[in-house]
Chain A
Amino acid sequence: MKKVLNYLFKENPVFVLVLGICSVLAVTTTFEKSYMMGIVVLIILVISNFLVSLIRKIVSEEIRIPVYIIIISTLVTLIEIILNKYSKPLYDAFGIYLPLIVVNCIILGRALAFASKNKVFDSIKDGFKSGIGYLIAISIIGFLRELFGNGTITIMNDISSITGYREIIHVFNNSVIPNKLFLTSGGAFILLGILIGIINGRRGEV
């Protein structure tokens, strides 16, 4: 448990390194969208680290970035096609932020910094680790934003066409707490700023 907390506070790609926060701020208006985005990024991160590490000896230094971008965008395109076919509501809810995973700094960053230099198994492990960190961070933000912004927590709604399960928990319904501020972009910035500030302050203690 201590190790997990340690990881969350000290190495988290979102809270500590502040990478890939475009999607962290943009899609986190509901809890469901947040964790689904986290899962999609996790899957792409693991596969792209695997592929990049597999071809690390063939690809020369000069053409690294274009090759990696093509690998990542191919994976993103596959996910786009799958989501478009099986879960149209989620696909529409993500909008342009689904193709924008291509330019998520975490994925290219891990490919360049780790997978291009390390063995296949280690790269998969590294991708999994960063992906989980991202998933946890984006879920926390999505949870808080939906809870305070709308007074609800959407466990499953958009993807219920696949799972056949639908659950939206209503938590608050008074005149103070569901405050639309948290659903606006300004609220997202401020919330993330405060969270990072708190984690910065706590980092010494853990």
Chain B
Amino acid sequence: MSIFTIFITALVTENVILTKFLGICSFLGTSNKEKNAIGMGISVTFVVLVSTILTYLINKYILIPTNSTYLQTITFILVIACFVQITELVIKRYFKSLYKSLGIYLPLITTNCAVLGIILTNIRSDYNFIESIFNALGSSLGFVLVLYIFALLRDRIEKNNIIKSFKGIPIALITAGIMALIFGRLV
């Protein structure tokens, strides 16, 4: 597969949220404001990119030579956890207003399945270094894209007259389902 194909596939047809169901917690949680969606998306992209590079190197030069690939899950989650901590510190120090609005969602990136999921996909599909980076970039941009579109949609959905029991999460899931059907047919 060419790099471009990998990128587009990760961005649209194999979208992390809509096809692989990763990162739905933050998808349902943060995305009622466009600004939060972008903030969350950028933090996720940053964490995904850096931890992709780190895990690729760790996997290739430490885990595979020492024949301990069974440690992948633990190693990767530790790398992500450390990196999220650092990102949180940076945002807290330099982007106060963003920190206020994202609030509790930042620590949740550690347990955001999207990050670990993208990294595991890279390793399991045997992507080389460049392919891994493009897959990580495409996937996390796809995450931002869907988060942003959904924030816009949700704004309008909430103004409409919906059956009471379907308000909030149920209608959000149904909307996501329709988006998933559309995204799956785009290419």
A-to-B contact residues, CB < 8 Å: 18-19, 21-23, 25-26, 65-66, 69-70, 73-74, 76-77, 80-81, 95-96, 99-100, 102-105, 108, 181, 184-194, 196-198, 200-201
- How far is it, in angstroms, between the C-alpha of A187 and the C-alpha of B181 when the chains are bound? 8
Which chain A residues border B163 with CB–CB below 8 Å?
Answer: 197, 201
- Asked if A201 and B25 sit within 8 Å, CB to CB, the answer is no
B-to-A contact residues, CB < 8 Å: 18-25, 28, 70-74, 77-78, 81, 107, 110-113, 116-117, 120-121, 124, 163-166, 169-174, 176-181, 184
Among B70, B81, B120, B179, the residue within 8 A (CB) of A100 is B120
Q: Is the interface of B mostly helix, strand, loop or mixed?
A: helix
- Asked if B173 and A196 sit within 8 Å, CB to CB, the answer is yes
Which chain A residues border B173 with CB–CB below 8 Å?
Answer: 189-190, 192-193, 196
Among A65, A73, A77, A190, the residue within 8 A (CB) of B177 is A190
Asked, given contacts A65-B107, A187-B177, whether A73 binds B74 with beta carbons under 8 Å apart, the answer is: yes
Report the nearest A residue to B171, measured CB to CB.
Answer: A193
Among A69, A200, A201, the residue within 8 A (CB) of B110 is A69
Which chain B residues border A181 with CB–CB below 8 Å?
Answer: 181
B74 CB, nearest partner CB in chain A, Å: 5
- How far is it, in angstroms, between the C-alpha of A194 and the C-alpha of B171 when the chains are bound? 8
- How far is it, in angstroms, between the C-alpha of A95 and the C-alpha of B112 when the chains are bound? 18
Q: Which 5 A-B pairs have the closest CB atoms?
A: A189-B177, A193-B173, A201-B165, A190-B177, A197-B170
Which chain A residues border B81 with CB–CB below 8 Å?
Answer: 65-66, 69
Among B20, B121, B179, the residue within 8 A (CB) of A26 is B20
Which chain A residues border B178 with CB–CB below 8 Å?
Answer: 186, 190
- How far is it, in angstroms, between the C-alpha of A194 and the C-alpha of B174 when the chains are bound? 7
- Asked if A186 and B181 sit within 8 Å, CB to CB, the answer is yes
Q: Which of B124, B164, B166, B177: most chain A Cβ within 10 A?
A: B177
- Asked if A80 and B70 sit within 8 Å, CB to CB, the answer is yes
